[in-house]
């Protein structure tokens, strides 16, 4: 009995002390929420992926491993470039940490490198952003530590001599320092990095390219790209989302020379963290400026399905130098927000004046022949071609380009086009009714949309005759009545 009592008392004491211990731990945990605890290895991702949000509510010691490597890789279709990289690809891997974290950074320089590399992180408070202390010879590793003092989205890059060459060859990436309470949850996060490449030969010249000192000094890039190469975010590489998704993009611009005017065609940024700083500074923004060596965070919700183009709105860069990407949104259409095409009808200046600006027409969508082409003598092939060239220059040139080569991965070529030459009636149909979805042209897959063209039958006949007689095509002749026949089908 006495033994039993003793046991009881003993177990009560144990219970009490355990409870006290637990409550002490809890109280300590609450009071010292900000104190550093634990160690973890950072999981880094290649663009366009972003590491998962950080769920812990306290700073920790984060070990980051990153390897500098010199690799030959794809800059555009058929074009290669000797890249210098953080992690084997351009841009470098995305690093995600939290404010207050103590980062133990391990920079490894591959034994196959031919020169030293280092890392200058704009998230670091300290000389050179860590560059001098991380200078690392081939086949060596350097370790240094820094406290993430400020939340925000920051660039990192190599700063070994000569710094501009290390940057121009691909050595950059982004590091996100999450604020204390993290970022609001979203459905999708993407990593997009704009940069320039200065190559000896012109845009698209096939083969292994080399750095051009002359173009770099003149700040005249051959390529301006997202995520390291032309087409890294188009067609099958497009970013994917569903209608209703809230999207956050971490967008960096390293330059090395140009400022980016980042825009997504058909979207409005609901929130903008200007310069990648901690706070939302703007709402409802169309285009954001990203300085060279800077970044921005944008958030928006996609409501209408379709393809949205990411561009640098310094638009020649998007059109001619590669600064174009795609966000493909799938889901149900929302006619309340965007109707799609409701009408397609003839507009002539004179009619507009007569009707006070508005044209009344029936809903049949039938386009009547325009007298300007019906007057043309169809037997005079040269005048048909001349007429067709005019139509081409104002209607087709924007996408298919003056030389008929199109844009690799985006707009199919008309030059020596097997697709075009194979079927005249199909070609007429596409000009009249447009074309949607995947198509293979000269061995390349294109997945885009061509809208129906607002042209008269005579104009369609002329422009197709022009195209068939240009760009090494099969010299077919398209007559107006052939077009009318297909339109009336």
If one asks whether residue 163 binds another protein (CB under 8 A), the answer comes out as: yes
User: 163 vs 280, which CB is nearer to another protein?
Assistant: 163
Closest separation between CB of residue 283 and another protein, Å? 39
The dihedral of CA 147, 150, 156, 161: what is its sign? Answer: negative
**What residue has token string 């309340």?**
336
User: 83 vs 468, which CB is nearer to another protein?
Assistant: 83
Q: DSSP state, 198?
A: -
- In the window 321-340, what residues touch another protein (CB under 8 A)? none
If one asks whether residue 84 binds another protein (CB under 8 A), the answer comes out as: yes
User: 200 vs 278, which CB is nearer to another protein?
Assistant: 200
Question: Residues 60, 68, 85, 160: which binds another protein (CB under 8 A)?
Answer: 160
Closest separation between CB of residue 161 and another protein, Å? 3
CB contact at 8 A, 114 and 107:
no
If one asks whether residue 212 binds another protein (CB under 8 A), the answer comes out as: yes
Q: DSSP state, 210?
A: -
Closest separation between CB of residue 175 and another protein, Å? 18
Nearest to 300 by CA among 266, 341, 325, 253: 266
Closest separation between CB of residue 138 and another protein, Å? 6
Neighbours of 286 (CB within 10 A): 12
For residues 205 and 199, what is the distance between their CA atoms, to the nearest angstrom? 9
If one asks whether residue 292 binds another protein (CB under 8 A), the answer comes out as: no
The dihedral of CA 405, 465, 399, 242: what is its sign? Answer: negative
Neighbours of 246 (CB within 10 A): 17
Stretch of 8-16, 204-212, 256-264, 336-344 contacting another protein, by CB under 8 A: 204-212
User: 165 vs 428, which CB is nearer to another protein?
Assistant: 165
If one asks whether residue 214 binds another protein (CB under 8 A), the answer comes out as: yes
Q: Which two tokens stand for residue 31?
A: 């009071």
Q: DSSP state, 477?
A: -
If one asks whether residue 211 binds another protein (CB under 8 A), the answer comes out as: yes
Stretch of 39-47, 109-117, 180-188, 467-475 contacting another protein, by CB under 8 A: 109-117
Question: Residues 151, 159, 225, 233: which binds another protein (CB under 8 A)?
Answer: 159
Cα–Cα distances (Å) from 140 to 86, 113, 146, in that order, read 15, 10, 20
CB contact at 8 A, 6 and 12:
no
User: 162 vs 357, which CB is nearer to another protein?
Assistant: 162
Stretch of 23-31, 55-63, 156-164, 476-484 contacting another protein, by CB under 8 A: 156-164
Question: Residues 200, 313, 405, 476: which binds another protein (CB under 8 A)?
Answer: 200
Closest separation between CB of residue 195 and another protein, Å? 17
Question: Residues 60, 68, 85, 169: which binds another protein (CB under 8 A)?
Answer: 169
Strands 188-197 and 246-255: parallel
Written in H, E and C, the secondary structure of 349-414 is HHHHHHCCCCCCCCCCCCCCCCHHHHCCCCCCHHHHHHHHHHHHHHHCHHHHCCCCCCECCCECCC
User: 214 vs 380, which CB is nearer to another protein?
Assistant: 214
If one asks whether residue 115 binds another protein (CB under 8 A), the answer comes out as: yes
Question: Which phi and psi angles does 151 have, rounded to 5°?
Answer: -80, 150
Closest separation between CB of residue 117 and another protein, Å? 10
Q: Measured in Å, how far apart are the chain's first and last C-alpha atoms?
A: 104
Consecutive H or E run containing 223 = strand 223-226
Closest separation between CB of residue 111 and another protein, Å? 7
The full DSSP string for 320-357 is HS--EEEEEEES---TTT-----------HHHHHHTTT
If one asks whether residue 293 binds another protein (CB under 8 A), the answer comes out as: no
For the window 41-80, what string marks contact with another protein as x by the rule CB under 8 A?
Answer: -----------------------------xxx--------
**Vertex 276: Cα angle to 311 and 166 (nearest 5):** 75
CA quadruple 215, 218, 223, 229: dihedral, nearest 10? 80
User: 72 vs 402, which CB is nearer to another protein?
Assistant: 72
- In the window 126-145, what residues touch another protein (CB under 8 A)? 128, 131-132, 134-135, 137-139
Closest separation between CB of residue 200 and another protein, Å? 7
Please, which residues bridge with residue 247 across strands? 188, 300
Total count of residues recorded for the chain: 489
Closest separation between CB of residue 66 and another protein, Å? 16
User: 12 vs 72, which CB is nearer to another protein?
Assistant: 72
Please give the residue ranges that form the binding site for another protein (CB under 8 A).
Answer: 70-72, 82, 84, 111-116, 118, 120, 128, 131-132, 134-135, 137-139, 159-163, 165, 169, 200, 210-214, 217
């Amino acid at each position: 009995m006495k033994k039993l009592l003793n046991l009881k008392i003993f177990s009560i004491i144990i219970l009490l002390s355990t409870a006290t211990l637990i409550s002490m731990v809890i109280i300590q945990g609450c009071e010292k929420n900000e104190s550093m605890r634990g160690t973890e290895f950072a999981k880094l991702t290649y663009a366009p992926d972003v590491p998962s949000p950080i769920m812990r509510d306290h700073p920790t010691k984060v070990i980051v491993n990153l390897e500098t490597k010199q690799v030959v890789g794809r800059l555009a279709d058929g074009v290669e470039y000797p890249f210098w990289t953080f992690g084997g690809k351009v841009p470098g891997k995305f690093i995600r940490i939290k404010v207050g974290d103590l980062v133990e950074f391990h920079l490894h320089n591959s034994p196959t490198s031919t020169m030293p590399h280092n890392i200058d992180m704009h998230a670091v408070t300290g000389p050179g952003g860590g560059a001098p202390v991380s200078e690392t010879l081939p086949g060596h590793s350097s370790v240094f530590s820094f406290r993430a003092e400020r939340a925000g989205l920051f660039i990192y890059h190599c700063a070994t001599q000569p710094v501009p060459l290390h940057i121009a060859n691909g050595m950059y990436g982004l590091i996100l320092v999450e604020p204390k309470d993290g970022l609001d949850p979203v459905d999708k996060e993407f990593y997009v990095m704009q940069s320039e490449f200065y190559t000896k030969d012109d845009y698209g010249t096939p083969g292994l390219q080399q750095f051009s000192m002359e173009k770099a000094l003149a700040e005249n890039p051959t390529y301006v790209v997202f995520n390291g190469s032309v087409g890294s975010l188009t067609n099958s590489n497009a970013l994917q989302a569903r209608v209703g998704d809230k999207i956050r993009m971490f967008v960096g611009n390293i330059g090395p020379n140009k400022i980016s005017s980042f825009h997504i065609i058909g979207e409005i940024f609901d929130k903008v963290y200007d310069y990648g700083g901690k706070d939302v500074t703007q709402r409802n923004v169309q285009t954001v400026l990203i300085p060279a060596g800077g970044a921005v965070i944008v958030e928006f919700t996609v409501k209408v399905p379709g393809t949205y183009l990411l561009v640098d709105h310094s638009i020649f860069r998007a059109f001619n130098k590669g600064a174009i990407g795609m966000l493909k949104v799938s889901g149900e259409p929302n006619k309340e927000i965007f109707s799609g095409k409701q009408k397609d009808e003839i507009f002539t200046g004179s009619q507009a004046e007569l009707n006070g600006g508005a044209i009344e027409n029936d809903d049949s969508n039938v386009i009547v022949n325009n007298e300007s082409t019906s007057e043309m003598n169809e037997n005079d092939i040269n005048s048909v071609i001349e007429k067709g060239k005019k139509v081409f220059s104002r209607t087709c040139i924007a996408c298919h380009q003056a030389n008929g080569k199109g844009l690799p991965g985006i707009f199919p070529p008309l030059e020596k086009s097997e697709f075009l030459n194979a079927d005249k009636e199909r070609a007429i149909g596409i000009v009249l009714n447009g074309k949607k979805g995947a198509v293979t042209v000269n061995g390349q897959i294109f997945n885009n949309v061509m809208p129906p063209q607002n042209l008269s039958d005579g104009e369609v006949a002329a422009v197709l005759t022009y195209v068939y007689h240009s760009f090494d095509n099969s010299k077919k002749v398209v007559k107006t009545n052939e077009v009318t026949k297909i339109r009336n089908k």
